[in-house]
Amino acid sequence: MEQFDKIVIGSGQAAPALAAQLAKRGFRVALIEGDQLGGTCVNNGCTPTKTLRKSAKVAHMVKHAEEFGVSAGDVQIDFLAAMERMRERVNTSRAGLTQWLNSFDNIEVIFGWGQFAGKDGDKFLVDVDGRRLAAPDVFLNTGTRSFTPPVTGLDSVRHLDNRGLLALNERPSHLVIVGGSYIGLEMAQIFRRLGSEVSILHRADALAEREDSDVSEIIADMMKDEGVNLYLEAAMTSLAPTENGGVTVTLGDGEVLDASHILFATGRVPNTENLALESVGVECDDRGYIKTNPQLQTNVPGIWALGDVNRRGAFTHTSYHDHEIVLASLDGMQDLYQWKGADQRPTTYAMFTDPPLGRVGLSMTDAKKRVAEGQNILISDMKMANVSRAKEESETRGLIRLIVDGDTEQFLGATVFGLNGDEIISVITNYMATGASYRIMQQALPVHPTVSELLPTILAGLKPLTAE
């Protein structure tokens, strides 16, 4: 039995940083990974998709070059070259992470599927690749994987998740995407711009339905303008293979779609079933996510759960932030500016379509519910079509929406859908962390010409929100 001070299982965005910080504090750390270092983000999430998004954006800009006084001629897309560029970026990123972790003398990276094997006194036992490790503290960062719902004929056809899609070497002639939420929308736009016919099947009557209805409408218009076929409130009844290796998709109304490829972007499930959590008594919810308190401690002292697997934020940035919360707890939370718990942070994220959507805190729909309960809330909108920088760049789709508490004057939420929305939302997110009044931002000196320079102007137009 091998003794360690700390064991980290999984190497998503929380784990490497946590392992490094623990090592710097003098602990001997085992970092266990069952697949590839870096987790979803590095290998089949953020890094590859944003790299491929750039290729798609360049193709889109070149096709529209004449609008800017540039003649580009006939545009040819080398799909394989774009995919190889993406893979090179992934390999470089993973190699850099590997080199960095190996630079720590007291971190041992162990490849294999780690699982608990009970306790020995005050130490947890973890088996991996024929070895038995022991440590008093274990940190779980095993993440999630794609969920594919049961459909008649599913086993008879070639179907893709996000990993399979990014492994393609040939461009799909017709990509059917099941799911019209964030991942599905990003992939739809990317592959449409790279030359595929794309169809989205979505169960709801609006795309990205957790957004405000006007935002969902803008997203739908954007997709339709780029030639993406939308099937809303669509249900599949069956799938069947075609002679050329494609798939026939039969919808509930009897319509049949012939696709070369089908991608399921229908949610995620946690990677917890092989951890043998029952051997140490760690509790999960009914979907397999590990229950934690705001400091990310499980019901078993000495075991923490970080990242997607704790259901406290399914994003790379929340996973990374989790490691800071854990360190604050381990350090005794002595620093005034350390985050003390996950319940403090507002939900913030981006959808990386082009233009992107940035969101933090309450939507207008959420805010109206608060108003109905008696809260005093102020709101102000501005269309991107009224933003000079957006007009100068012919990027006028979208809006900016700011929501504040009428009594405390603190920000409650924001939506920035449009040019640089994924970057601008961080201005609001960071400001919310200060707890300051919106009036301070309203009096700030912005840089011209930018999109964010309009934030003080929008704040000057705040008006009471009604529940209707």
Q: What is the pLDDT of residues 251-260, one digit of tens each?
A: 999 999 999 9
Q: Is 287 helix (H, G, I), strand (E, B) or coil?
A: coil
Percent of the chain topping pLDDT 90: 92
Largest separation between any pair of C-alpha atoms in the chain: 74
pLDDT tens per residue across span 154-209: 999 999 999 999 999 999 999 999 999 999 999 999 999 999 999 999 999 999 99
Per-residue pLDDT, averaged over 389-408, amounts to: 97
Q: Which two tokens stand for residue 284?
A: 């999960």
Q: How do beta strands 2-3 and 131-135 pair?
A: parallel
CA quadruple 159, 163, 165, 169: dihedral, nearest 10 = -120
Total-model pTM: 0.95
What is the distance between the alpha carbons of residues 223 and 245, in angstroms, rounded to a whole number?
27
Which pLDDT score is estimated for 336?
60
User: What CA–CA distance (Å, rounded) separates 301 from 282?
Assistant: 10
Q: Which two tokens stand for residue 293?
A: 């308190």
The residues that bridge with 378 in the sheet, in sequence order, are 404, 464
What the chain holds in terms of domains, given with CATH numbers, is: 2-145+269-343 (3.50.50.60), 154-266 (3.50.50.60), 347-464 (3.30.390.30)
Q: What is the DSSP string of 334-384?
A: -STTS---GGGSPPEEEE-SSS-EEEEE--HHHHHHHHHTT--EEEEEEEG
Block residue for tokens 């940083």: 17
Mean pLDDT of the chain: 95
| Average pLDDT of the segment spanning 291-305 | 97
pLDDT at 46: 94
Tell me what the mean pLDDT of segment 348-366 comes to. Answer: 97
For 58, counting Cβ atoms within 10 Å of its Cβ (0-12 exposed, 13-18 middle, 19+ buried), the class is middle
User: How confident is the model over 41-54, as pLDDT tens digits?
Assistant: 999 999 999 999 99
Between the CA of residue 149 and those of 203, 267, 310, what are the distances in Å? Answer: 12, 9, 22
